[in-house]
Every structure is written in C-alpha cells, then in structure tokens.
C-alpha cells in the first residue's frame, strides 16, 4: 500500500483522525485521545507491526500533554507519527500495552517523568525515581533549581571560579 492509500484508509476508518504526508515515507496523524487504542489497533492491522517508541511533550501554556507514538511498517516502508492531546490537569490515556508489550515500559517512563496515567497499564511503578515526592521532573512547571536546593543545599560560587580542571592520571 502506498502512503496516500494509507492516509485515505485512516481518514475513512477514523473520521476524527487527521492524516497528512510529511516526507516520502512518513505520515503525521492526529487522533482524539478517546480513539487512541482503536486507532493504534487499526494501524497494527494494516501491518504497522513495529512500535518504535512513545514519548510525551508538555505544552504548559496550552495546559496539555501531547503523547506521541511512532510506528513503522516493514511491509509498506512507511513511518507514522501519531499524536494525541490530553488535558494536563487530569492526564489520562488508555494504555496500548496489551497490543504491544514493549509499550508498557514507555508508558511507565512517561508516567514517572510527566505524570500521565495510562489506564490499563499493569505497572506504572517507578523506574528511576524511587521515593520521589515532587512533581514529575520533565514537566515544565518542575523547578529543578528549587528542588536541588531543597534536597542538597545551595552552593554559592563565583562563575569564574566554578570551572574546575582535574588533571588526568597518567597510565
């Protein structure tokens, strides 16, 4: 199937979705959050068998998170970027870990770093931030300097003296 045929199938199968060409072998799709599981299932049935990754973007001024899925078809040699926007104040999205077991750890990391809850994911426990009690650290409203100061104390330095050159040991 060619890129334009895939875009037409997407538009016909999901009227709420938008699909646009990017490069010769890429499609950009925007899908309402309520349709994400059905949409990803639909892509998988069209031979998009490889989940490349899932990531998240914090649009703090719009009060939204954008969850981004990248999938690839070895059959069609097409890459699709799927974006779905969710409310930042109650960031929830249906998990796709039942479709792709690899999605579980991507969703777990996004939950830990942004606070997005993936409904149906079997393990959203911490990967890196055990005993973390602050905002998720990749949210734009997380203040890293304030957190570091509270956790480790502030260090006053003169920027001219802040550079430290340590000689390498000779072997």
- Give the tens place of pLDDT for each residue, 131-151: 888 899 999 999 988 888 888
Q: How many CA atoms lie within 13 A of 74 on its CB side?
A: 4
- Flag whether 164 is in a domain: no
The CATH number of residue 26's host domain is 3.30.460.80
Q: How many CA atoms lie within 13 A of 17 on its CB side?
A: 29
Report pLDDT for 165: 47
Structural domain range at position 132: 3-152
- Flag whether 9 is in a domain: yes
Report pLDDT for 164: 46
- Flag whether 144 is in a domain: yes
- Flag whether 80 is in a domain: yes
Domain count, the chain: 1
- Flag whether 158 is in a domain: no
- Flag whether 66 is in a domain: yes
Walk along the chain (171 residues) in steps of 10 and give the mean pLDDT of each run: 92 90 94 96 96 98 98 97 97 96 97 97 93 91 88 67 51 52
Q: Report the alpha-carbon distance of residue 107 to residue 118 in Å, rounded.
A: 7
What's the whole-model pTM score?
A: 0.86
Token duo for residue 55: 């990531």
- Flag whether 160 is in a domain: no
pLDDT tens-place string over residues 23-49: 899 999 999 999 999 999 999 999 999
Report pLDDT for 157: 60
Token duo for residue 7: 């875009």
Please, which contacts does 101-106 make with residues 24 or more away whose CB atoms are closer than 8 Å? 102/51, 103/51, 103/54, 106/51, 106/53, 106/54, 106/55
How far separated are the first and last CA of the chain, in Å rounded?
59
- Flag whether 102 is in a domain: yes
């Amino acid at each position: 199937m060619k890129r334009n045929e895939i875009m037409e199938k997407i538009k016909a199968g999901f009227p709420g979705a938008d699909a646009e060409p990017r490069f010769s072998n890429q499609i950009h799709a925007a899908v309402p959050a309520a349709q994400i599981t059905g949409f990803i299932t639909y892509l998988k049935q069209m031979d998009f068998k490889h989940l490349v990754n899932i990531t998240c973007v914090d649009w703090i001024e719009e009060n939204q998170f954008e969850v981004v899925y990248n999938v690839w078809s070895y059959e069609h040699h097409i890459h699709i970027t799927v974006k779905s926007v969710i409310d930042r104040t109650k960031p929830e999205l249906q998990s796709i870990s039942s479709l792709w077991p690899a999605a579980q750890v991507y969703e777990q990391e996004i939950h830990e770093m942004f606070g997005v809850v993936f409904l149906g994911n079997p393990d959203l426990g911490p990967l890196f931030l055990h005993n973390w009690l602050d905002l998720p650290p990749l949210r734009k409203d997380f203040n890293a300097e304030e957190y570091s100061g509270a956790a480790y104390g502030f260090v006053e330095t003169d920027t001219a003296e802040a550079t430290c050159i340590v000689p390498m040991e000779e072997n």
